[in-house]
Structure 1
Amino acid sequence: MSDLSIRNIIERVTSGRLRIPSFQRGFVWDAERVAFLMDSIYKGYPFGAAILWRTKEQLKSERQLGPFELPEHDPDLPIDYVLDGQQRLTSIFGVFQSDIEPREVAPWTKIFFDLGAQSDLQESQFHCLTADKVDPERHFPVSTFFNVPAYRQATKDFDDALADRIGGVQAVFQQASIPVQLVETDDRAKVAIVFERVNRMGMELDILQLLSAWTWSEDFDLQEKFEEFAEELRPFGFHGVGDDSNLLLRCCAAIVNGDVSPGALVELNGGEVRDRFTEMVNGIKGAIDFLRANIGVATLANLPYPALLVPLSVFFAAPDGKEVKVTKAQSRVLLSWFWRSCFSRRFSAGVIRNLNRDVEEAEKLRTGKGSNLDAITAEVEPAYFSDQTFNVSTVHTKIFVLLLAQGGPLSFVSGSPISLGKVLQAYNRNEFHHLYPQKYLKDQGRTTSEIGALANFVFLSSADNKTLGAVAPSLYRSRMDDQAVPKILEHAFCPAALFDDDFDEFMAKRSQVLAQKAKELMGL
């Protein structure tokens, strides 16, 4: 731990040595907070240490210091980038410096010491004032404390007592120091970890911003590219993919390096990221097309685990102008892997390890090198569907919904096909209802968990649910198209025992049917 005086801060900024990396947020303090900081420094109250990253290599993308554009630095000298304390350092520099004109209006820099205020441990003696609010006999501009000519001009009419008093205030700031922790390294992975830990209780680390800072070029900004890609995906219901920067970065790292660990993300080669960006975009688009066409996934919200996109994007990654053609054998492996990953909850734990293994096997499958991608142990018992309750936000419900979609469900009233694309894009509770109506089961004394079990749900619109009514299945059967009933049940993976009004027997049989269907999808 070392200290920086206010004069040191001014000199380092004006010489270009103290800089702001682009992965930091901008200056956000208001005038009241800046004035409050001045009061804390004056009264000797703790106001936190700054953390600086010292490196020999200047980042290609930087942020200006609040409204101040930073000057060029001497390439022979190291650079100190601010990892923590930007708001405090910017405030101190902005208030006391007099060499750099702000690029925009910065009223918060106009801080005055209130000569008329009583000394108070709690109340601030420093205020930010506009020109029309300044009383020259009461408000002294602290901006003059490090500017000798300006200070002399501001105090030239003071009597000895007043000059001594303001001189004492000036001395406090001239002698004040800011605690500094210095991280001296050219290892960017270490910088990412430090930044993450510093901001864990505040702003979450955004690895995209970190990576953007050292992959940027005049014609390539990674953040902008991701934003453009998000908009491109919007019409297809997958705008959420483009908004998930960590998911996109994992896809990128998987394609470029075959490794999705945090360390691998920040070690990505900027030039290779730029050169292979189109390949990554094609890989994600191919993965989305495959999920839409073969599983019925209509939006990112349908995916039990967004991480499923990563190995798929590796398989479908192709340079611009080329396309990965999937053979029937490859498609079977991909589908088996998808369902086994879902039912084994593969990406609930050990995500990085499992992703790296699957990324490697997906690459082998694409290149015909003998892949074990779907060699994943997975078991599904009927209890999976009878013991877990329906909630559209949970993983097991998303898996269940996608399983039901494989049957090509029909309307329980008319027997006409359900437009799954629209239903799954909307993806809300109103499109799914109980086979044994909720009120009917409550009247029988059934518990909430029994009523809400997965096996008691089906694709059923609110309109069809109202038509069928809150009566026993044997009664609402008459409201269904009689000739279509066998097909309706078949497409819903639902046994005819539904209409026997024996809830326990029905749940046992339907759970068995669903478990068998899950095993078929997994290739078991």
Structure 2
Amino acid sequence: MKSDISTKLATETAYFSQLIADIKKGEIKIPQFQRKFVWKDDQALDLLDSVANRYPIGSVLLWKTVEKLNAARDIGSFRLPTTDEITPTNYVLDGQQRLTVMYSCLGASESEGGYTAAYDLVNEIFIEIKGPISRPEIFPLRKMFNTTSLLNYRTSLLNLPNAAILQERLDDIISAFTQYKLPVVTLKDLTIEEVCPIFERINSSGTRLSTYDLMVAATWAEDFDLNEKVASVLSALDSKGYGSTERSTILKALSAVHSGSIQDKSLRELRNLSTVQIESLAELTESALRSAVDALSTQFLIHSWDFLSYEAVLLVATYIFRDAKELSALQANRLRQWFWRASFGERYKIGGENFVSRDLEVVKAYVLSGDGNGEQFGLVPNSKDWGNIQFKSNVSRSRSYILALASAAPRNLANGMSIDVQSALSGYNKKEYHHVYPRAYLKAIGEPLESNALGNIVMLTSTSNKTISDSPPSKYVPVIVAELGKDADAVFISNLLPKPSSFNYKNANYSDFLAARGKIISDHVAGLIS
């Protein structure tokens, strides 16, 4: 049974002055997470306006712990103070943008840089201060909690014609901010393992905190930054088309290489390694990743992270190459068995990190030692299935099918020239693929079979795509055959299409075509596996 954290949870309300004082003392800190979201200036002004109108602005979630995380000082143009380390510390899990805005606008000294705002007492609006203040009716909010400065400003309003109205408006704004109470929930004495799932459930303003975010903060030291180390690994993979790999995937690769698991617990345990150990692990992982990417790109023509069917494929391959610098011919064959069967069989569609963690050792034992058999990783579609399975860009079987087409070294139907499969496989460019029997044509004749079936997809250049357009094969194939001459059969075979010399495209119907091509595709895939 999971532990009940309700006993470690405290709920209270706090004045802005209290929160600002705690931030100044270093008792409240913002963890240094990689955040995709940073508040814009108008959002800060909207927040101030909400407080002025006594609207609720949400709550703040703090984690009180003796754990030491790297704390942020600057978030965009908003700044927090530099403080000494205090034990224990309240780290902000949710509400960092709101607290940062409030500190920058209300708590920082008037001479400090960073974002600062004011209230226009005449127009009754909040504005950002970007330079010297030219009008006496503009009230800098940083005077709010500085008693002497605030009294001096209020007194200065007496020199203005409408002093009474301006002072009344000033008093109302001061009251709104000094009396506003913000709900604060504090989690006390929780371990990182207990806090991490809470991190992952938080979704504030579209920003999700992840295990990767936590690990960046938990492993940070003056001489080590996980973010920088991951960036270095990605840089090494960039030339191979894998520079856009998710950072969380690199973290999982580190965990897989270290412990043979990508479960959250294993990821979090990386924080227990010393800086030297993590440096060594990162070096080993980078080497394994390079070998894995080389294998994926050369053996299966996966030239970019974007074309990878499953994250698990890269992780499993990395785990294999942790222990094998290179593969023998027999091991390479077993690698192909696993890849094609797992991809066409959609092995990693469900199961999650627990399943992948178990599979790391299973696949490695099979590839390197021959334990088990290839069929355990999934079944390949039969010849009839190619006419039923739909082509969808984000589905493993579709991507695997395109890779299978590419492995046949396709030649352009229009002129017989080789197709640049690396360009076609650098991402899903719909212009590179075409229906042999156009969908519009099949719809027009009332064809009941699936028009978007894998067996109806062929790899084409965008120019050939336009040439064929929506013409049926009975019209465009004879033209192509005449232009290709004696090369026609070879060009069609390179596209896993029935040979014009043995298949009558002029009179064949869609069902005949799918049956003939389905057998060709199945034979080709069987060859890839064996």
SS of the aligned residue for 1:264 comes to helix
Deviations 1:476-501 (A, max 9, x none): 36425443344334433333453353
Residue correspondences, number: 504
Answer yes or no: is the 8 Å Cα contact 2:342–2:348 preserved in 1.
yes
Answer yes or no: is the 8 Å Cα contact 2:257–2:322 preserved in 1.
yes
Q: How does 1:17-96 map to 2 (within 5 A)?
A: 17-23=27-33, 25=35, 28-29=38-39, 33-60=43-70, 62-64=72-74, 67-73=78-84, 75=86, 77-96=87-106
Question: TM-score, normalising length from structure 1?
Answer: 0.83
2:216 is matched with: 212
Flag the 1:183–1:389 CA change in 2: closer, same or farther, 3 A. Answer: same
Q: How does 1:216-295 map to 2 (within 5 A)?
A: 216-241=220-245, 244-269=246-271, 270-271=273-274, 272-295=277-300
Flag the 1:140–1:309 CA change in 2: closer, same or farther, 3 A. Answer: closer
Name the stretch that deviates more: 214-223 or 30-39. Answer: 30-39
Uncovered stretches (5+) of structure 1, i.e. residues with no partner: 118-123
1:476 is matched with: 479
**Counterpart Cα distance in 2 of 1:474 and 1:129:** 70
SS of the aligned residue for 2:207 comes to coil
Flag the 1:220–1:239 CA change in 2: closer, same or farther, 3 A. Answer: same
1:121 is matched with: none
AA aligned to 2:82 is: P
**Counterpart Cα distance in 1 of 2:482 and 2:439:** 18
SS of the aligned residue for 1:21 comes to coil
1:407 aligns with 2:408: yes
Answer yes or no: is the 8 Å Cα contact 1:41–1:47 preserved in 2.
yes
Deviation at 1:252, TM superposition (A): 1.9
Flag the 1:434–1:67 CA change in 2: closer, same or farther, 3 A. Answer: closer
Deviations 1:131-151 (A, max 9, x none): 765543x44444334223223
Q: How does 1:296-445 map to 2 (within 5 A)?
A: 296-317=301-322, 324-364=325-365, 368=369, 370=371, 375-412=376-413, 415=416, 417-425=418-426, 427-436=428-437, 445=445
SS of the aligned residue for 1:3 comes to strand
Answer yes or no: is the 8 Å Cα contact 1:61–1:216 preserved in 2.
no
AA aligned to 2:150 is: Y
Flag the 1:37–1:391 CA change in 2: closer, same or farther, 3 A. Answer: closer
Answer yes or no: is the 8 Å Cα contact 2:419–2:460 preserved in 1.
no
Flag the 1:431–1:256 CA change in 2: closer, same or farther, 3 A. Answer: same
Answer yes or no: is the 8 Å Cα contact 2:79–2:114 preserved in 1.
no
Answer yes or no: is the 8 Å Cα contact 1:311–1:359 preserved in 2.
yes
Flag the 1:502–1:372 CA change in 2: closer, same or farther, 3 A. Answer: closer
Answer yes or no: is the 8 Å Cα contact 2:28–2:91 preserved in 1.
yes
Flag the 1:384–1:171 CA change in 2: closer, same or farther, 3 A. Answer: same
Answer yes or no: is the 8 Å Cα contact 1:489–1:495 preserved in 2.
yes
1:461 aligns with 2:455: no
**Counterpart Cα distance in 2 of 1:100 and 1:27:** 27
Deviations 1:422-449 (A, max 9, x none): 4333652333334446676566x15496
**Counterpart Cα distance in 2 of 1:436 and 1:157:** 82
Uncovered stretches (5+) of structure 2, i.e. residues with no partner: 1-10
Answer yes or no: is the 8 Å Cα contact 2:386–2:453 preserved in 1.
yes
Deviations 1:366-390 (A, max 9, x none): 7649466763242422333101344
Deviation at 1:255, TM superposition (A): 1.2
Deviation at 1:475, TM superposition (A): 2.1
Answer yes or no: is the 8 Å Cα contact 1:474–1:499 preserved in 2.
no
Flag the 1:10–1:490 CA change in 2: closer, same or farther, 3 A. Answer: closer
Flag the 1:487–1:191 CA change in 2: closer, same or farther, 3 A. Answer: same
SS of the aligned residue for 1:375 comes to helix
Deviation at 1:334, TM superposition (A): 1.2
Aligned-pair Cα RMSD in Å = 3.5
**Counterpart Cα distance in 2 of 1:5 and 1:519:** 70
AA aligned to 2:285 is: M
Answer yes or no: is the 8 Å Cα contact 1:5–1:175 preserved in 2.
yes
Flag the 1:369–1:342 CA change in 2: closer, same or farther, 3 A. Answer: closer
1:120 is matched with: none
1:11 aligns with 2:24: no
Flag the 1:174–1:327 CA change in 2: closer, same or farther, 3 A. Answer: same
1:512 aligns with 2:515: no
1:495 is matched with: 498
SS of the aligned residue for 2:182 comes to strand
**Counterpart Cα distance in 1 of 2:448 and 2:304:** 29
Deviation at 1:31, TM superposition (A): 5.4
Name the stretch that deviates more: 35-44 or 252-261. Answer: 35-44
Answer yes or no: is the 8 Å Cα contact 2:200–2:211 preserved in 1.
no
SS of the aligned residue for 1:94 comes to helix
AA aligned to 1:484 is: D
**Counterpart Cα distance in 1 of 2:485 and 2:234:** 46
AA aligned to 1:144 is: K
Flag the 1:95–1:62 CA change in 2: closer, same or farther, 3 A. Answer: closer
Answer yes or no: is the 8 Å Cα contact 1:192–1:210 preserved in 2.
yes
Name the stretch that deviates more: 164-173 or 417-426. Answer: 164-173
Answer yes or no: is the 8 Å Cα contact 2:36–2:207 preserved in 1.
no
1:151 aligns with 2:150: yes
AA aligned to 1:96 is: L
Aligned-residue sequence identity (percent) comes to 25
Deviation at 1:301, TM superposition (A): 3.1
**Counterpart Cα distance in 2 of 1:474 and 1:154:** 85
AA aligned to 1:253 is: S
Q: How does 1:175-186 map to 2 (within 5 A)?
A: 175-186=179-190
**Counterpart Cα distance in 2 of 1:479 and 1:468:** 15
Deviation at 1:395, TM superposition (A): 3.0
